[in-house]
Amino acid sequence: MAVRGHRFDPTILREYDIRGVVGRSLTPSDALALGRTLGTIAAAGSGRVAVVGYDGRMSSTVLEEELCRGIASCGLYVLRIGLVPTPCLYFTARMLRAELGVMVTGSHNPPEYNGFKMVVGGKPFYGDDIKRLRDLAGRGVWARAEGGVVEVDAMSAYMARVALDYTSKRALRVGWDAGNGAAGPAALGIARRLKGEHLLLNETVDGSFPNHHPDPTVPANLEQLRTLVLEEKLDLGVAFDGDGDRIGVIDDEGEILWGDQLLAILAREVLKTRPGAPVLADVKASQVLFDEIERLGGKPVMCPTGHSIIKSMMAMHQAPLAGEMSGHIFLADHYLGYDDALYAAVRLINLVAESRQKLSDMRKALPQVVNTPEVRIDVPEERKFDIVREVKERLAAAGAEVNDIDGVRVRTEDGWWLLRASNTQNALVARCEALDEAGLVQLKRAVAEQLAASGVTGNSIGMLAA
């Protein structure tokens, strides 16, 4: 009798992870098949230990149980570390040199979503790896051997390690907003280990996210923290996404520090002891950041967007610091080189305490530019990469200065603009940055003209052309 394989809904197999709507595109049977498939891949490696954690979503425990069952059926010993932020999963897998690490998480997506982030052999599992996983699951040729499952505590060691790098003798007053996500218990435990006064918001895990959605890239989601910082006159505030690998920051004046600004500030500290070191940032980051890294004596490296890609490139360049506009901050300086928002928060708090300078002053010391947020333009899935290719060809014919590492990033006398295809949605992403408003108008107009030339219309185009 032929072995029956498993077919995943193709929409859940993303570039960097697996993610879908529970009960519609993602089911417990997917979790079981994923466990069997990852277990088969891991069983071919040098280890027999797997680490599995899950976030606070309503569906996470069911998916985690089936995932563990599938992994153990391949002969691996599964260490269940329970409800933890994703960086705790990365930390535990690294410390135990586990062959496989899997986090059940929907990250910053709405409550009905869930998914999986994966590490195999100590490296991110993404891109072609996920395509290979799809094909292996479809064939259904899974390893079969007796394994086991055991529950272990990983949070205590993780929190102690993260808090270890607060070295300042100065105490600050800090606000923390976990957004009712999986970072809540860890934020509480870490804050208790630090000097100073720490005020926590939404630290209780609740997968319905009753207070605001846990996505710190959306200004509205930071409003509660901003109010706390201003009313209590705090030194700064930090916020986390649903699984604790992305950070948002509010300074003492209630202003948001975006991912590239935060990276520029952290680079000051890192490059003091690592002169000439490469610092990586994604293609959406401000030119101010790349110029600042160079001014500080570092080597700026522009990368494609995507946390898995950046982790891989960080290892390749042996970079001590990297980051994305989305709030993924990666520190290999005194740490382990993956995206950990809680650790980034501790390093930032320590930096502010040691500098005896307000965070708002650090922000204002950076060159001031004007820019757009990320503008998402819905397009048919089958057209998004073709549109970017068409734009690139027109720009090449016109002799424009283009960086095509991820989409097209175009430099002009007014500043720069970016157009890239989203890896996770049927959309294009545009961003523009200039030294003044007049220049920004010219850049937005250039993007709108290119989109129109490829037949793209709609409200988003009007926003760019305005």
pLDDT, mean of residues 85-110: 96
High-pLDDT (> 70) share of the chain, %: 98
Pairing of β 113-120 and β 100-104: antiparallel
| pLDDT tens, residue by residue, 7-37 | 999 999 988 899 999 999 999 999 999 999 9
| pLDDT tens, residue by residue, 212-240 | 999 999 999 999 999 999 999 999 999 99
What gap in Å lies between CA 426 and CA 411, rounded to an integer?
26
Residue 329 — very low, low, confident or very high, per pLDDT cuts 50/70/90? very high
Give the pLDDT score at 461.
62
Give the pLDDT score at 425.
77
| pLDDT tens, residue by residue, 301-318 | 999 988 899 999 999 999
pLDDT, mean of residues 251-258: 97
CATH homologous superfamily of 10-153 equals Alpha-D-Glucose-1,6-Bisphosphate, subunit A, domain 3 (3.40.120.10)
pTM of the predicted model as reported, rounded to 2 decimal places: 0.94
pLDDT, mean of residues 354-383: 92
Residue 429 has pLDDT above 50, yes or no: yes
* Domain regions of the chain by residue span: 10-153, 157-365, 370-465
What gap in Å lies between CA 243 and CA 247, rounded to an integer?
10
User: Would you call 60 a catalytic residue per the annotation?
Assistant: no
Residue 356 has pLDDT above 90, yes or no: no
Give the pLDDT score at 466.
56
pLDDT, mean of residues 376-383: 90
Please name the residues in contact with 33: beta carbons below 8 A apart, sequence gap of 6 or more.
Answer: 6, 8, 70, 137
Mean pLDDT of the chain: 95
**Tokens coding 131:** 């395509």
Give the pLDDT score at 381.
85
Give the pLDDT score at 334.
97
Give the pLDDT score at 245.
97
Give the pLDDT score at 46.
84
What strands, in cross-sheet order, belong to the sheet with 173-177? Answer: 197-201, 173-177, 236-240, 247-251, 256-257
Architecture of the 157-365 domain: 3-Layer(aba) Sandwich (3.40)
Residue 353 has pLDDT above 60, yes or no: yes
Residue 465 has pLDDT above 90, yes or no: no
Is 2 exposed, middle or buried, given 0-12, 13-18 or 19+ CB atoms closer than 10 A?
exposed
Residue 2 has pLDDT above 50, yes or no: no
Q: Which of 59, 60, 73, 107 is catalytic?
A: 107
CATH homologous superfamily of 370-465 equals Alpha-D-phosphohexomutase, C-terminal domain (3.30.310.50)
pLDDT, mean of residues 239-255: 98
Give the pLDDT score at 310.
94
What b/e string do you get for 354-388 counting C-beta neighbours within 10 Å, with b at 16 or more? ebeeebbebbeebeeebbbeebebebeeebbeebb
370-465 and 157-365 share a CATH fold: no
Give the pLDDT score at 1.
36
| pLDDT tens, residue by residue, 58-79 | 999 999 999 999 999 999 999 9
Least confident of 11-20, 263-272, 273-282, 457-466: 457-466
